[in-house]
Structure 1
């Protein structure tokens, strides 16, 4: 009954075109990556406790106030990061829910869309725990990994929105290649987890005013960086093997193009990591590395989804919710191995 009332209210909104839905979905990906990037800015500027309480900035103030013990710029950076989470991420998460609900998209899309605002709330709570626990390294790492997971979900939603609601999946690349990309995704998750340990032991504690009070991972940084780098090599090797199969086997052009883009992004990210390590982890490269991590996550997710796209039934008329979505180049393709 409650959901029916929600649908009646949503039906008062203009019907979004397929292009509008895709644009909103793209903005959702960017917003999820943005919150991770601004979080890294908070860290490298040592503004993690610029607002030492949550959800308020201070116990007696929701917003930053003039204080001797906390510089105003630390307050502004941390408070700004929170505002991005509230106004940009939540707004766009709500927008994608309203758009796909109004367009009466298939249940799969609705589920992914609703995950965005729900997970954003969870992420906000996790951010609060990060502050209230005094920036413990493993909580900060979990916060970053949650952001990466949300980028993955948003990227999957972006691909699914561009596909028709009728019909079924058709292979657009060799099945073995798709399995390799799935394994590459698992390896990527390990790379990201290992990366948070390097950060947890690194020089950016997140609070310059009292760095000795911040819980740090007391393990050799070269050792952690070697593990991180080794896992990256495994990830890149699996992805490269998939790329070879995609190039040799019957694959649709969107998949061929996307695997090239993914490999380029991964190599660029690896280069940033190497330069970052040998230049003693400058803050600007940390921010670029976090942005690169989000890019790798999004590209890998998109690649995996494109390898088995949903294809419309031949001769089935386009409905208002998917008008403008074109069938994939592989719509007439036979199953491939």
Structure 2
């Protein structure tokens, strides 16, 4: 109760602040995945060989004959970025909580906001497990997939700040909703399959890390096939909406999904053809975050939760926060 009183003393977040915090959450949650890929392709995954300390007895990189200074700082920098992600996540919670004090109906907004710091804690634990197990490929995969979930949730949070709290009414037919669910499932399959390709590929985060013992050609074929499924479902969805007459907002977001997905597919093909160069790996990880954000935005645009009521504080006489 006392904590709520402290939050009530904070300035009410404006529309611009709400939007900025949610976008920052998307950028930081996606960015940590990109910097993680930089750690992997530079072989810096064990630059800090212990966790949560960098070296036994030190939170920071130290001169060591077995570990290059650059790889230490690349890994340590990725750990430091987790702090930035945590700060943004905490600010999202404070903003959502402050809004709910004036608008008690905004429970879903607060729940979504809490997934951000919850995800940071989960990622810290998974990251520790990844280091302590010597970067086993499946732990790295879990680490990346957790980031993808958080990028999705951060995108939902951005939309939650900009929509009401009514029960969602779908702007598409039931068959369109089913296709959207299938699209999201196909995207999840593409992401999971991508981690197996990475697990068998040349960039394990450390030269001595054991790799997934499976034919990379087969894994790449499965990964590419699932992307084809994603694109086929997207095409069928468009045909269905063309017949039913979908709103303009849906078409705009639908077009963006196509552009991003095709660009990501082309990048993946070039990356494979060139022998998986380091720089393209990180761009591909960035592209995967873009696919998640655009797909989540399409999902959100397909349903209506009514007008937003919390861009402004409640009147002083009606506001629980104002009475404190």
- TM-score norm. by structure 1 comes to 0.89
Structure 2: gaps spanning 5 or more residues:
316-324
Q: Does the 8 Å contact 2:45/2:131 carry over to 1? A: yes
Tell me what 1:200 maps to: 199
| Equivalent pair of 1:54/1:131 in contact (CA under 8 Å) | yes
Give the Å deviation of 1:253: 1.6
Partner of residue 318, structure 2: none
Matched residue, 1:333: none
The residue number in structure 1 matching 2:94 is 98
For residues 164 and 18 of structure 1, do their structure 2 counterparts lie closer, same or farther at Cα, with a shift above 3 Å needed?
A: farther
RMSD: 1.7
Deviation at 1:168, TM superposition (A): 4.0
Distance 1:45 1:322, change over 3 A: farther
- Whether contact under 8 Å (2:48, 2:75) holds in the other structure is yes
Q: Which residue of 2 aligns with 1:320?
A: 312
Q: Residues 174 and 251 of structure 1 are in contact (CA less than 8 Å); yes or no, is this contact kept in structure 2? A: no
Deviation at residue 298 of structure 1 after TM alignment: 1.3
Instruction: Provide the secondary structure at the position in 2 that maps to 1:311.
Output: coil
SS in 1 for 2:170: coil
**Residue 246 of structure 1: CA displacement?**
2.4
* C-alpha contact (below 8 Å) 1:177/1:243 kept by paired residues: no
- 1:334 equivalent in structure 2: none
Instruction: Give 1:17 shift.
Output: 1.5
Question: SS at 1:103's partner residue?
Answer: helix
Q: Is the 8 A contact 2:14 2:311 kept in 1?
A: no
After TM superposition, the structure 1 = structure 2 runs for residues 106-125 of structure 1, keeping only pairs within 5 Å, are 106-125=106-125
2:249 to 245, 254, 271: 254
Whether the 8 Å CA contact 1:173–1:255 is kept in 2: the answer is no
The CA deviation string for residues 157-213 of structure 1, in whole angstroms up to 9 with x for no partner, is 111111024x44333233322221111110111111110000000011211xxx2x3
Aligned residues of 1:96 and 1:113 also touching (Cα < 8 A): yes
Gaps of 5+ in 1: 324-337
Aligned residues: 311
Task: State the 1:134 CA deviation.
Answer: 0.2
* Corresponding residue to 2:40 among 33, 40, 43: 43
> Is the CA contact 1:10–1:101 (under 8 Å) kept in the aligned structure 2?
yes
**Equivalent position SS for 1:199:** helix
1:64, distance to aligned residue in structure 2 (A): 0.5
Structure 2 Cα separation of the partners of residues 200 and 310 of structure 1: 41
> Aligned partners of 1:24 and 1:131: how far apart in 2?
30
Which secondary structure state, in structure 2, belongs to the residue aligned with residue 14 of structure 1? coil
C-alpha separation in 1, matches of 2:256 and 2:314 = 27
Deviation string for 1:193-251 (max 9, x for gaps)? 110000000011211xxx2x312101111111001101110011101211222233232
**Structure 1 pair 112/49, CA: closer, same or farther in 2 (3 Å)?**
same
